[in-house]
Amino acid sequence: MEPEAVRALTEQALRTGMMLSRLVGDLLDELPEDAFAGEDQVEVLFEMLIGTIAPVAEAAGIEQVRAATALLGAMSDRVLADLHAAMRLAEEDDPA
């Protein structure tokens, strides 16, 4: 695998995740309580994001969408697994 391709993937995943997280957080902070009367604000915003992203997903096709979803999930799993492994090693090295 080309290291630059992995770097670009990692950067794009981080930038996109951070942007979406900030966007939803900022909207939730700024929306009046009754903005979506009787509805869960998080769910409404999530549905709006789905509607915005749907055309891009449709253009890519179901195979690409499923592959991208699996890749992001595998990236998350690997990062957490490495973090847990590092924590175990640190605990083993701790003389306390």
Looking at the structure, do residues 15 and 29 belong to the same domain, yes or no? yes
pLDDT of 95 above 80: no
> What is the number of domains present in the chain?
2
Among 65, 58, 61, 29, which residue's Cα sits nearest to residue 45?
29
The pLDDT confidence band at residue 60, using thresholds 50, 70 and 90, is: very high
pLDDT of 38 above 70: yes
> Is residue 42 within 8 Å of 27, Cβ to Cβ?
no
Looking at the structure, do residues 52 and 69 belong to the same domain, yes or no? no
pLDDT of 70 above 70: yes
> Is residue 44 within 8 Å of 36, Cβ to Cβ?
yes
Range of 48's domain? 1-60
